[in-house]
Amino acid sequence: MWIFWALVAMLGSTIWYVGPKLFTSTNPFSPIVISSMGAMIIGLVCSKIFYKTWFDTASVPLGLIYIFTFLATVGYIMAINTGGKIGPVAVIVELSVILATLVALFLFREQLNLIQVIGILLTMIGIGLVLYFKK
């Protein structure tokens, strides 16, 4: 089941990257307001459907951490609106995957095997190539 939700997240991220170029706006912060309201409604409905409750107070710390996604959205919109191209901006944003891996290694003591380390190194090389040849 987690693969389904990961694919949904992947599709949402793709639309998130392409959206600002498809639908330009004179006020780039208006979509944040609309999407935040939509996300709250969808979140409440899914919470009630899947977990039979509207809200769990134990989720407040995680919710506070998710406020950083707001900062990520603002950063992405400003990067696109100030002349950034989708490809290089998306690659820079996706460096968060490598940072999350490092946090998982040091904070949660997760283990990586050799294939995963090679994959991370190849990813870093690919990111470097994209940024170097961004023209």
The mean pLDDT value for 6-28 works out to 75
Instruction: Write down the pLDDT at residue 114.
Output: 94
- Give residue 104's domain range: 94-135
Q: Quick one: 79 and 125 in the same domain?
A: no
The mean pLDDT value for 21-42 works out to 79
Comparing 24 with 44, which gets the higher pLDDT? Answer: 44
Note whether residue 69 is domain-resident. Answer: yes
Tokens of 127: 């990111």
67 has pLDDT over 90: no
* C-beta of residue 43 within 8 angstroms of C-beta of residue 49: no
75 has pLDDT over 80: yes
Tokens of 110: 């997760």
Note whether residue 40 is domain-resident. Answer: yes
CB atoms within 10 A of CB 20: 19
